[in-house]
Amino acid sequence: MPYIHQPVLLAEVLHFLDPRPGEVFVDCTVGGGGHSAAILPRLLPGGRLIGLDRDAAAIEAAGERLAPFGLAVELVRANFRDLALVLRDRGIAAVDGLLFDLGVSSYQLDNPERGFSYQAEAPLDMRMGQEQELTAATVVNTWPEERLAEIIWRYGEERWARRIASFIAAARQREPVTTTTQLVKIIKAAIPAGARGSGHHPAKRTFQALRIAINGELTALQEAMEQLPGVLRPGGRVGVITFHSLEDRIVKRAFQGLYGRCTCPPGMPVCTCGSRRVLEPVTRKPVTPGAAEVTANPRSRSARLRVARRVLKEKDGE
């Protein structure tokens, strides 16, 4: 199936990241190249964009879409947790702009073979990078019940985590759980009918939790945020689009720490935490899609964009 990428919050990304001719940008989750295709014309002449993605299908699709920009774009199959390494290998000391568009792409959700969707029959896979060995089927069938309950609660914020894990453990004793529909059936049986409500699909939180655990998404995001001081040049901008509270919390806390806010206990006569002001906020509050975008692309509903700028001169924590 074609790799279709409908970029979320595109006008807002262009406005707040403000790409300019001659600058170097990194699209840390290039996907099908939707955001990059809009950023690149603003970097020319003289600018450059590096696009990263773990997914080989995304790199191929982005290559086709961005081919008209020639040598101004370079695509790298890599996890954004390796951002600093990718730049160092290319002799790039620092960049002017970074964009992270987190979450699962429409292509990955809509392609049954990838196993991300709870609304289609598919093998339990959920790998964002096909080179890795760990799949959802491995987790569901081999991880201890206690560990399953922990990840479903921590990464899915699912109140029925223990009950779902118990039902999975019982089901896999009868036969291996190898498809998305098998897992959905187990989850629906575990959640009492009266607790399902009329909102989200009952399997949504569990599928989210498994995907995050399998792909190490939150750890990778935390590691990428820790690299910001070393990869952004003074005046450089970073934008992060998140799609659930766990991601947004990591980004919010990382930005606040780099805003130089002292984290010492109240009453300390001298700051000893070593905080320093590396970033300054561009968006004081998260930017969310307008009604027109949500109508055109319902999957954008939960998107939240935070943008910060590298200060021209670092200051001690205040």
CATH number of the domain that residue 17 is part of: 3.40.50.150
Q: Does residue 313 have a pLDDT over 80? A: no
Find the mean pLDDT for residues 204-211.
Answer: 94
Q: Strand pairing partners for 237?
A: 97, 309
> Higher confidence at residue 83 or residue 6?
83
Q: Does residue 191 have a pLDDT over 90? A: yes
Q: Does residue 99 have a pLDDT over 80? A: yes
Domain assignment of residue 2, yes or no: no
Are 50 and 192 in a shared domain? no
> Domain limits at 243?
10-101+218-316
Q: Of 160, 188, 215, which residue constitutes the final position of a domain?
A: 215
H or E segment at 310?
Answer: strand 304-316
pLDDT, residue 272, reads 66
Are 128 and 172 in a shared domain? yes
161 neighbors 153 (Cβ within 8 angstroms)? yes
Domain assignment of residue 179, yes or no: yes
> Higher confidence at residue 269 or residue 211?
211
Are 237 and 261 in a shared domain? yes
Average pLDDT score over the chain: 91
Domain assignment of residue 168, yes or no: yes
C-alpha span between 302 and 299 (Å, rounded): 7
Residue 225 to residues 219, 222, 233, 276, 278: CA-CA distances in angstroms?
10, 5, 15, 15, 12
C-alpha span between 292 and 295 (Å, rounded): 5
Domain assignment of residue 226, yes or no: yes
Are 180 and 238 in a shared domain? no
Domain assignment of residue 106, yes or no: no
Find the mean pLDDT for residues 69-84.
Answer: 97
- What's the DSSP call for residue 96? E
Are 91 and 226 in a shared domain? yes
- The model's confidence at residue 295, banded by pLDDT at 50, 70 and 90, is very high
Are 222 and 186 in a shared domain? no
Are 281 and 267 in a shared domain? yes
Percent helix, strand and coil across the chain, each to the nearest 5: 45, 15, 35
Domain assignment of residue 109, yes or no: no
> Higher confidence at residue 208 or residue 130?
208
Q: Does residue 314 have a pLDDT over 70? A: no
What CATH number is associated with residue 161? Answer: 1.10.150.170
H or E segment at 26?
Answer: strand 24-27
78 neighbors 52 (Cβ within 8 angstroms)? yes
Number of domains making up the chain:
2
HSE (CB half, 13 Å, CA atoms) of 68? 8
Q: Are strands 48-53 and 304-316 parallel, antiparallel or unpaired?
A: unpaired
Domain assignment of residue 4, yes or no: no
Q: Of 190, 215, 240, which residue constitutes the final position of a domain?
A: 215
Virtual CA dihedral for 6, 11, 15, 21, nearest 10 degrees? 60
pLDDT, residue 105, reads 64
Find the mean pLDDT for residues 182-204.
Answer: 87
Q: Does residue 183 have a pLDDT over 80? A: yes
Are 125 and 210 in a shared domain? yes
Q: Which residues of 221-234 are buried (b: 16+ CB within 10 A; e: fewer)?
A: bebbbebbeebbee
Sheet of 232-242: strands edge to edge? 73-77, 48-53, 24-27, 95-101, 232-242, 304-316, 276-281
Are 94 and 229 in a shared domain? yes
pLDDT, residue 318, reads 47
Q: Which two tokens stand for residue 220?
A: 């990778």
Domain assignment of residue 108, yes or no: no
Are 124 and 183 in a shared domain? yes
C-alpha closest to that of 26 among 309, 257, 274, 238? 238
C-alpha closest to that of 144 among 159, 165, 125? 165
C-alpha span between 59 and 52 (Å, rounded): 8
Are 210 and 147 in a shared domain? yes
Q: Of 160, 195, 215, which residue constitutes the final position of a domain?
A: 215
Are 184 and 97 in a shared domain? no
